[in-house]
Structure 1
Amino acid sequence: MSQPAELQYHRERLFIGGEWRPSTSRDTITVISPFSEQPVGRAPDTSPADIDAAVAAARQALTASSWASWDTETRAAAIDRFADALERRADDTARMVTAENGMPIWGSSAVEGPDPARVLRHFAQLARTTPQEERRPAASGTGTTLVRREPVGVVAAIVPWNYPQSLAIFKIAPALAAGCTVVVKPAPETVLDAFQFADAAQEAGLPAGVVNIVTGGRDIGAYLVSHPGVDKVAFTGSTEAGRAIGEACGRLLRPVTLELGGKSAAIVLDDADLGRTVEGLTWVCLAYSGQTCYSNTRILAPRSRYTEVVDAVADLAASLEIGDPFDPTTQIGPLASSRQRDRVESYIAAGRAGGARLVTGGRRPAAFGQGWFIEPTVFADLDNSHAVAREEIFGPVLAVIPYADLDEAVTIANDSPFGLAGTVWTSDEEKGIEVARRVRTGTMGVNFYDIDLGAPFGGTKASGLGRELGPEGLAAYVEYKSVYLGR
């Protein structure tokens, strides 16, 4: 059953300083279903005055509640309670995300519902095992140095619409584990599910102001990024927006973590088991209709097997079930917005006009009179200079590119302004690892790809700055202080 057309989710107030406060803006944000094209909920918009109040509350929580100076075990126990409260909401959260952005329910139930609790517990444990300070013998041989990890302070977390729960918690969890406080601003397209964090924070008894939820579009996001009370910015989104945020933070000498776009390559080696490869590419290339930052939308195939790979990828794309995102059998739901579908269609038109061969897809499926759908699309007979092979489309559009030998495959993979992810498909794992080492990107998979909570995630080049997850993700929310001691 799809989400009924009438409004389902309402939020009338913002969550600031542990309280539900009316917005000082008279505007509201209405979220539209990508499937029914009808409203599914509304929330208040935010004014600059509301941002001021949220930042002030977060600043107050650092000192008045002593959150930043709580002992590690007490803070970790509070984070575990927060995880428990979110876990109890997981099913409702998954349905809410599907209603907002059209993610198939099997995906939101596997990721968006349970991930917040998993990530919080991971960082609670990291907080327990990471010493807040340590003594090191001075390199000069005289005396010791006390090295302290101290919370960076108030964090502005700006979250996109594609994986709103997961990408929010990638920022919230390490910030809280380090002793920071957060002001979270979700994307307008998925503003409703963010308030689940507020409900859970209240239930868990987090001190007032440790977690604050505000709303708004780009102007409010820019105001938050440059706010004098913010100590660090964590952002996931487009490279264009990331450049603007990075520029603002650079001018302010403010730490920033940027997880941005990608145009990752799946390198199919000549010894790959094609059946196993295609099965793996389903998730790696077309998860959530390609609206995934790590999507491997360039598939590099050896010339000796090019036709075979093109046909197999096209068969895969054509076989995926398109439909109602609330139907558990649906594999491809609608794109998140009409604007996003327009963008994807413009690239499909560019692919055709530029001489690439459209193998399958490229249309709005005829079975649906509503919803922002586009068929999974495969282009062949193109090189890496083509727009559909170079630019991030953020939709279900794949380019299958031939290569002559392994060196050319690595060259093509590296010939990109982005560097977020990638995969290698081969029957020889050690050979795959060697190829992975040569590709300039933040993450790679060999015959597999999944984000590991215990390992750093992030990109190089135009794919961003810094890392999330793992000990490196926690380190991004601390400042180091050296206290020099005598003998």
Structure 2
Amino acid sequence: MREHDRLFIGGEWTTPSGTGTIDVISPHTEEIIGRVPDGTPADMDAAVAAAREAFDRGPWPRMTPAERAEILGRLSAIYAERQQSMADLVTEEMGSPIGFSIFAQAAIPQMTLQYYIDLAGTFTWEEERPGMLGPVTVTREPVGVVAAIYPWNVPQFTFIMKLAPALIAGCTVVAKPSPETPLDAYLLAEWIKEAGIPDGVVNIVPGGRETGAYLVEHPGVDKVAFTGSTDAGRKIAAACGQRLRPVTLELGGKSAAIILEDADLASTIEGFKLASLMNNGEACAAQTRILAPRSRYDEVADALATMVGGLSVGDPADYTTEIGPLVARRQQERVEGYIRIGQDEGAKVIAGGLDRPHDRGWYVAPTVFGGVTNDMRIAREEIFGPVLALLSYDDEEDAVRIANDSDYGLGGSVWTADVDHGVEVARRIRTGSCGVNMYIMEPNTPFGGYKDSGLGRELGPEGLSPYLEYKAIPRPA
């Protein structure tokens, strides 16, 4: 068992102020695999004070971007060498199949870190502009102390997509990992210390919702970056609005995958293994509404049911596993509750259902509902599990209408033999991203959503700007 009794504050492993602990439970065995301190408000005070000191008086924000990039390059090299250990740990913590973990829980976070290191050398940090009355220098400065609060489903990715741009910008960070997955943050903290990032630049305090709420409202914080549920995002937005504090929110989704008439069905259905069922369906951008033309509906239903019914469900550490357990018993019960809701609404289970694949572990059978209409709860609410809703449409206009008829606007996809036409359709979908014949998040492009899917963007150059303040310095001609 991995047991930690300290917190990472001010570059040191410090004794927590309280005696509470958080047990980390394997979703596969239901056994305790780790334990960490449960951070208190006093611990957050200490972490924010350390970050404040490092920002107000430390070297980090006063370094050039190139100097910060050089130090972060050491962290990136360590990460690249030890990706497997990170992937193994996240799989153990939250049940992500190891094949997916290697890619999304370790390699993509490291690639994102390296992307921002490289961006430091090409980003416009300062420029001269001709003003109306004389020349003006426009410079970018770090926003200050950042509160980074992130979830359990892809903990390293959602942490790094905040940490990397914040650090390159010159900010300091107080991070609160989810209580379900704090262990990977401890491993990253060890690498941060080994890389020689100055004390207080990164501080990590695990804790529950109250600890996170305390951090959001802390007077020593200059910006909040949050990934999580839409309900929590609304509360954070309200708190930040009250304090006129900048905030980035990456929230929920209910993405639609539109299968056009000319789509190759075999490759499309194979593509849904990642696009729709990535990470056991515990992904905000998962394509969980499948829109099929009425003329091909039965064909799509049969192919989708065959694919989903044939998935390997089991031990997430087994490289043959395609669907692992859900993160917690409450998540298992939540997803099973939605399966019951779908049945009560009149949708038909065409694959999976309520029979659990294993007696031990928080498993749910991958499930497909047919006969779904877009007013059903299973088509409108984020389930966050391996449950797909198959809807029919009359023509392309109808497909676009259904896809856009959602409270969310995070992701989407179009599947077609004509890629150029697929791009035209993708332009009409009101979401922050929409793939053609695939769905994936690229570290060098903006990620975020419309409507209830959040505020602002992460990743790409657009993901660096929220950690910067713009200053104009005019002077006489």
TM bucket normalised to smaller: over 0.9
Matched ranges for 1:270-309 at <5 A: 270-309=261-300
Amino acid at match of 2:233: G
Counterpart of 1:402?
392
1:461 aligned to which of 451, 461, 465:
451
Amino acid at match of 1:136: R
1:130 matches 2:123: yes
Following superposition, the deviation at residue 132 of structure 1 comes to 2.0
Counterpart of 2:141?
150
Counterpart of 2:415?
425
Counterpart of 1:216?
207
2:251 aligned to which of 251, 255, 260:
260
In 2: Cα distance, 1:69 partner to 1:132 partner = 13
In 1: Cα distance, 2:397 partner to 2:109 partner = 40
Following superposition, the deviation at residue 481 of structure 1 comes to 0.7
The percent of aligned pairs where both chains have the same amino acid is 55
- Does the aligned pair in 2 maintain the 1:97–1:103 contact within 8 Å? yes
Counterpart of 1:346?
337
Amino acid at match of 2:337: S
1:382 matches 2:383: no
1:25 matches 2:18: yes
Secondary structure of the corresponding residue to residue 195 of structure 1: helix
1:82 aligned to which of 72, 75, 82:
75
In 2: Cα distance, 1:390 partner to 1:117 partner = 34
In 2: Cα distance, 1:193 partner to 1:230 partner = 24
In 2: Cα distance, 1:114 partner to 1:57 partner = 30
In 1: Cα distance, 2:157 partner to 2:36 partner = 21
In 1: Cα distance, 2:296 partner to 2:186 partner = 50
Counterpart of 1:173?
164
In 2: Cα distance, 1:36 partner to 1:319 partner = 23
Give the TM-score of the pair, scaled to structure 2: 0.99
Matched ranges for 1:464-475 at <5 A: 464-475=454-465
Amino acid at match of 1:313: L
In 1: Cα distance, 2:461 partner to 2:365 partner = 40
Of stretches 9-18 and 123-132 in structure 1, the one that deviates more from structure 2 is: 123-132
2:47 aligned to which of 35, 38, 54:
54
Counterpart of 1:3?
none
Following superposition, the deviation at residue 131 of structure 1 comes to 2.8
Secondary structure of the corresponding residue to residue 180 of structure 2: helix
Please give the per-residue CA displacement for 1:198-233, whole angstroms capped at 9, x wherever unaligned: 101110110000011101000000000000000000
Matched ranges for 1:425-444 at <5 A: 425-444=415-434
Counterpart of 1:414?
404
In 2: Cα distance, 1:241 partner to 1:112 partner = 23
Please give the per-residue CA displacement for 1:394-424, whole angstroms capped at 9, x wherever unaligned: 0111111000011110000000000000000
1:93 matches 2:81: no
- Does the aligned pair in 2 maintain the 1:83–1:116 contact within 8 Å? no
Counterpart of 2:348?
357
Counterpart of 1:448?
438
1:65 matches 2:58: yes
In 2: Cα distance, 1:450 partner to 1:439 partner = 16
1:335 matches 2:326: yes
Please give the per-residue CA displacement for 1:257-305, whole angstroms capped at 9, x wherever unaligned: 0000000000000010101111111100001111011001000010000
Secondary structure of the corresponding residue to residue 350 of structure 2: strand
2:109 aligned to which of 106, 111, 116:
116
- Does the aligned pair in 2 maintain the 1:156–1:233 contact within 8 Å? yes
Amino acid at match of 1:69: R
Following superposition, the deviation at residue 113 of structure 1 comes to 2.1
Following superposition, the deviation at residue 483 of structure 1 comes to 1.0
1:203 matches 2:194: yes
In 2: Cα distance, 1:137 partner to 1:228 partner = 38
Unaligned runs of 5+ in 2: none
Of stretches 57-66 and 269-278 in structure 1, the one that deviates more from structure 2 is: 57-66
In 2: Cα distance, 1:435 partner to 1:216 partner = 43
Of stretches 191-200 and 205-214 in structure 1, the one that deviates more from structure 2 is: 191-200
- Does the aligned pair in 2 maintain the 1:384–1:390 contact within 8 Å? yes
Counterpart of 2:31?
38
Secondary structure of the corresponding residue to residue 183 of structure 2: coil
Of stretches 387-396 and 85-94 in structure 1, the one that deviates more from structure 2 is: 85-94
Please give the per-residue CA displacement for 1:314-354, whole angstroms capped at 9, x wherever unaligned: 11100110111111100000111100011101110011011
Give the TM-score of the pair, scaled to structure 1: 0.97
What is the total number of aligned residue pairs between the two structures? Answer: 477
- Does the aligned pair in 2 maintain the 1:364–1:373 contact within 8 Å? no
Please give the per-residue CA displacement for 1:443-475, whole angstroms capped at 9, x wherever unaligned: 000011111111100001000000001000011
Counterpart of 2:306?
315
In 2: Cα distance, 1:121 partner to 1:305 partner = 44
1:229 matches 2:220: yes
1:477 aligned to which of 464, 467, 471:
467
In 1: Cα distance, 2:368 partner to 2:125 partner = 51
Cα RMSD over matched residues? 0.9
Of stretches 58-67 and 416-425 in structure 1, the one that deviates more from structure 2 is: 58-67
Counterpart of 1:186?
177
In 1: Cα distance, 2:65 partner to 2:285 partner = 34
Please give the per-residue CA displacement for 1:37-60, whole angstroms capped at 9, x wherever unaligned: 000100011111110110011111
Amino acid at match of 1:252: R
In 2: Cα distance, 1:314 partner to 1:467 partner = 35
In 2: Cα distance, 1:121 partner to 1:359 partner = 43
1:391 aligned to which of 368, 377, 381:
381
Unaligned runs of 5+ in 1: 1-7
Of stretches 83-92 and 427-436 in structure 1, the one that deviates more from structure 2 is: 83-92
Following superposition, the deviation at residue 308 of structure 1 comes to 0.6
Of stretches 104-113 and 418-427 in structure 1, the one that deviates more from structure 2 is: 104-113
